[in-house]
């Protein structure tokens, strides 16, 4: 069973008299335990799609079923609760607080969830260790490299152990080597924790590091590729 499925998503924006349709009846279905990459040209609507799939934004039409729950049937508060409990989000620009150490950034979501400080610190440390930052815990963002900052952002998204992890262009401000570390970290998380990891990127270098690549064009998913162990595209399927 898919952990996240969208059916017939439509979304458009009106500016002045001009109406632009971004998503045109898009459907997709992704599985847990995999890193799925959504690729497509700039402006095709990848970020818009991710914000709908993660419950941040309501589509004009269509539905999203996440972990068996119809995301847009309930009200905004139900959706906020769902996001807090089940989803993590990694942004392109890290979105770290300048005055907090890596450990404090990672502990923050647990505070929102009511986890006590001692437990939050233990989980924060363990999660930073998991992304290879055991020796960077007490540094501020200004003292971290770009790749390290992005791994702090991943740890912050991961610390609640979300079933769904979303990442929007997590490697775009990183060099090739750090981009690979970040994408491999995301894939390992998917495999080890059976997390559904959905990552948006237009970086062709990352394609071979994903388990599956969905190609987005003209407001729908046009291609669906499974990636084999050696990085080749194994087969092409039709998406629903």
Ligand X SMILES: Nc1ncnc2c1ncn2[C@@H]1O[C@H](COP(=O)(O)OP(=O)(O)OP(=O)(O)O)[C@@H](O)[C@H]1O
Q: Which residue is nearest to Mg ion (CB)?
A: 47
Q: Phi, psi at residue 140, to the nearest 5°? A: -85, 160
Q: How many CA atoms lie less than 13 Å away from 114 in the CB half-sphere?
A: 2
Asked whether position 51 contacts Mg ion by CB under 5 A, the answer is: no
| DSSP letter assigned to residue 234 | E
Binding site partner of 202, from ligand X, Mg ion, none, Cβ cut-off 5-8 A by kind: ligand X
Q: Which of 45, 55, 88, 170 binds ligand X (CB under 6 A)?
A: 45
CA 121 to chain centre: 24
Give the distance, in angstroms, between the CA of residue 124 and the centroid of all CA atoms in the same chain: 19
Judged by beta carbon distances under 5 to 8 A according to partner kind, the member of ligand X, Mg ion, none in contact with residue 208 is: none
- What span, in angstroms and rounded, lies between the C-alpha atoms of 144 and 151? 10
Please identify, among the stretches 41-49, 70-78, 141-149, 174-182, the one whose residues bind ligand X according to the rule CB under 6 A: 41-49
195: left (phi over 0), alpha (psi -120 to 50) or beta: beta
Q: Residue 7 interacts with ligand X (CB under 6 A)?
A: no
Provide, rounded to whole angstroms, the least separation between the CB of residue 93 and ligand X.
Answer: 12
Helix (H) or strand (E) segment spanning residue 121 = helix 117-130
Q: What is the closest distance, in whole angstroms, from the C-beta atom of residue 203 to Mg ion in the complex?
A: 12
R_g over Cα of the chain: 18
Contacting range for Mg ion; rule: CB under 5 A; set: 45-53, 133-141, 143-151, 203-211: 45-53
Residues 83-142 that bind ligand X (CB under 6 A): none
Rule CB under 5 A: say whether 47 interacts with Mg ion: yes
Binding positions for Mg ion, rule: CB under 5 A? 47
């Amino acid at each position: 069973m898919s952990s996240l499925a969208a059916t017939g998503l439509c979304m458009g924006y009106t500016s002045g008299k001009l109406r632009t349709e971004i998503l045109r009846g898009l459907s997709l279905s992704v599985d847990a335990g995999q890193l799925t990459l959504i690729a497509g040209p700039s402006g095709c609507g990848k970020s818009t799609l991710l914000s709908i799939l993660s419950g941040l934004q309501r589509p004009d039409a269509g539905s999203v079923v996440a972990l068996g729950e119809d995301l847009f049937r309930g009200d905004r508060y139900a959706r906020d609760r769902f996001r807090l409990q089940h989803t993590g989000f990694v942004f392109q620009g890290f979105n770290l607080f300048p005055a907090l150490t890596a450990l404090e950034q990672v502990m923050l979501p647990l505070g929102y969830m009511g986890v006590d400080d001692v437990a939050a610190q233990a989980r924060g440390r363990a999660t930073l260790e998991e992304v290879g930052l055991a020796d960077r815990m007490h540094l501020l963002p200004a003292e971290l490299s770009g790749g390290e900052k992005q791994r702090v952002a991943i740890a912050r998204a991961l610390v609640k152990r979300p079933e769904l992890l979303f990442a929007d262009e997590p490697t775009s401000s990183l060099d090739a080597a750090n981009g690979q570390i970040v994408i491999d970290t995301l894939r390992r998380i998917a495999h080890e924790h059976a997390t559904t990891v959905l990552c948006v990127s237009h970086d062709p270098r990352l394609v071979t590091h994903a388990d599956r690549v969905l190609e987005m064009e003209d407001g729908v998913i046009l291609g669906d590729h499974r990636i084999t162990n050696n990085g080749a595209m194994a087969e092409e399927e039709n998406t629903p």
